[in-house]
Amino acid sequence: MTFDAIVVGGGIIGCTNAFYLARKGLKVAIVESGTIGCGTTSNSFAWINATTKVSDENYHRLNALGHATYCKLAVEFGEDVMGLYPTGALELVSPSDPSGYAAVKERARLLEGLDYPSGWIGTREIRTLDPHLTVPDDAEALYTMSDPCLDAPKFARFMADQVRALGGEVLENCPAQKLEATDEGVVTGLETGHGVLKSPRVLVTVGPGTPEVLSEITGYEGFASRFPMRRVPGLLVVTPSTLPHRMVRHVLYVSTGAEFHVLPTPDGGLKFGADDTDGMVSDDPSPETVRRAALMLLKRAQEVIPGFSGEACIDDCDLRIGVRPYPEDGMTLAGQMPGSEGLFVIATHSGVTLAPALGSLMSQVIADGHVPDALEPFALERFQAFG
Ligand SMILES: Cc1cc2nc3c(=O)[nH]c(=O)nc-3n(C[C@H](O)[C@H](O)[C@H](O)COP(=O)(O)OP(=O)(O)OC[C@H]3O[C@@H](n4cnc5c(N)ncnc54)[C@H](O)[C@@H]3O)c2cc1C
């Protein structure tokens, strides 16, 4: 079989990129070793935001473009089929924690300067926006009213369906095995579990497995040992539906007591995480530690969400470990592999937020050979490993 482009990896990044390439008229194949969305995409908090990314303006703007591109897609397809749902987000802080308070306040100032839809609110507005919470009388919040959430595996499957509708192939249970290229490094195809696919362009989007998969398909061990990316595990505790009691209406980042974050899922459940519990399961992913960390999260949550059963619902919860693909400087890696012709890579954290922006921008790189300004800062060449 012959294609104009092959995308390796059917996560949110791969499926969205394949969609934008197919939209440009390319005949595209997605090659996925498992099933669509089965990787980190299925184990993500999945809050679409540029709220937490303010230290680098280019990276902030790339994330904001991700958000804006979802809005464009929603106008075309509708939110429901895409798995997009509006929530807004509240980051609760208290002046009694001076350093935490100052950090969020400073971020609010930067977001305002970046023209990001956001505001600073007090206890009365917090209680109005999310009436079922117990918040201290001195609580204040950074409110980002337009940050939505995504059912990320649903969106990946939706993008894969669009690829099929545009004449592309979606090959599941089909691992990429070996890149075919000339001695000069010009890509000609890919050996897969379903045979050889011919194509002058191969885009690798395999999330946390990027170093190992690149090493395996190219036969160059240096990718596995020197690729500038870490695997950063995180714990998510997902409750069954709590409907009809919609206990939490927004994405909440709580640091008015013990820290945690929570997001309402589309079926009425709650999804919890926290930085310190991520650290616990990263150091020791044994079932005992995972359960202990989950119980900590549920206990903290009950203090803020009084109607919630907390630790008592542990056995009904889904405890999931997701692995973040985390480039060394925390920002996206996206572009052509230096020294090759026709091999492209995307590896990124915040991939749920970024997927449509990266799809739309990378399709210009891959199909037209044009690197848009917005992508230039994220080229692989910025790391010595590719110098
Ligand atoms: C706990 C947690 C919370 C997060 N929260 C957020 C958030 O709130 N907002 C946000 O924007 N992002 C968040 N992220 C990050 C985001 O989820 C990821 O950046 C994104 O899911 C990465 O998608 P991907 O398509 O690159 O990788 P994946 O979803 O892992 O997809 C890669 C695919 O490649 C396939 N594959 C692997 N090897 C091969 C092979 N040899 N051949 C073919 N296929 C192969 C895998 O099976 C997999 O399906 C979070 C991540 C975690 C873990």
Rounded-to-integer distance, Cα 135 and Cα 15, Å: 40
Q: Which CATH architecture has domain 89-145+232-323?
A: 2-Layer Sandwich (3.30)
Looking at the domain that runs over 5-44+152-228+328-386, which CATH code has it been given?
3.50.50.60
* Atom 53 in ligand 1: residue holding the nearest Cα: 322
pLDDT, tens digit only, all 387 positions of the chain = 999 999 999 999 999 999 999 999 999 999 999 999 999 999 999 999 999 999 999 999 999 999 999 999 999 999 999 999 999 999 999 999 999 999 999 999 999 999 999 999 999 999 999 999 999 999 999 999 999 999 999 999 999 999 999 999 999 999 999 999 999 999 999 999 999 999 999 999 999 999 999 999 999 999 999 999 999 999 999 999 988 888 999 999 998 878 999 999 999 999 999 999 999 999 999 999 999 999 999 999 999 999 899 999 999 999 999 999 999 999 999 999 999 999 999 999 999 999 999 999 999 999 999 999 999 999 999 999 887
CA of 117 from ligand 1 middle (Å) equals 27
CA of 250 from ligand 1 middle (Å) equals 24
Provide the whole-model pTM: 0.98
CA of 227 from ligand 1 middle (Å) equals 17
Helices within the chain (DSSP H only): 12-23, 57-77, 79-82, 98-113, 123-129, 152-165, 210-218, 222-226, 275-283, 287-304, 351-368
Q: Which residues line ligand 1 (CB under 6 A)?
A: 8-14, 31-34, 38-41, 43-47, 175-176, 205-209, 213, 234, 236, 273, 322-325, 348-353
- Token representation of residue 386: 């590719």
* Atom 7 in ligand 1: residue holding the nearest Cα: 46
CA of 38 from ligand 1 middle (Å) equals 8
Q: Within the chain, which residue ranges are assigned CATH 3.30.9.10?
A: 89-145+232-323
Q: Within the chain, which residue ranges are assigned CATH 3.50.50.60?
A: 5-44+152-228+328-386
